[in-house]
Amino acid sequence: MRAVVQRASFGSVTVDNKVVGQIDEGLVVLIGVEKADGDKDVKYLVDKISGLRIFRDEEDKMNLSVKDIGGSILAISQFTLLGDVRKGKRPSFSNAENPETANMLYQQVLSGLREEGLRVEEGVFQADMMVKIHNNGPVTILLDSHKEF
């Protein structure tokens, strides 16, 4: 699984001109599911996202997690994170999981984050979405359960 995690002062997702998810301070997380992902990958993302220490403490150091600050998460499914452009310029999505399995694993990530006590808003799976992100910092972290960076 891959995720792009952005520290945000605001985030929202709109589908068909209707806001379907919105947060104030917290994380906007774009999530892509790869073939062969499973429970281990879900656990990896839940642990990393909920525990990332990228919010400032009283000494202005990135030392606090979204849980520590009482923040929220806006999660967006984004299969294009699996786009491979190593050959040519048109992305190949052959490593992206099929939609049914991808949605199931994506929902497991959201459930895991909620079990961590986090408020989680979300987009609409497979919908054409407009996402607004006020990236605070900017701070952007890349996660990949297979590369573990």
107, amino acid identity = Q
Catalytic residue of the set 14, 55, 79, 108: 79
Cα–Cα distance for residue pair 123/60, rounded to 1 Å: 32
User: Does the annotation mark 10 as catalytic?
Assistant: no
Catalytic residue of the set 6, 78, 93, 108: 78
User: Does the annotation mark 80 as catalytic?
Assistant: yes
Catalytic residue of the set 80, 101, 126, 140: 80
> Among positive and negative, which fits the CA dihedral 71, 25, 66, 96?
positive
User: Does the annotation mark 14 as catalytic?
Assistant: no
Q: Find the radius of gyration of the CA atoms of the chain.
A: 15
Q: Contacts for 62-66 with beta carbons within 8 Å, 24 or more apart?
A: 62/139, 66/26, 66/27, 66/118
Residues assigned a catalytic role: 78-80
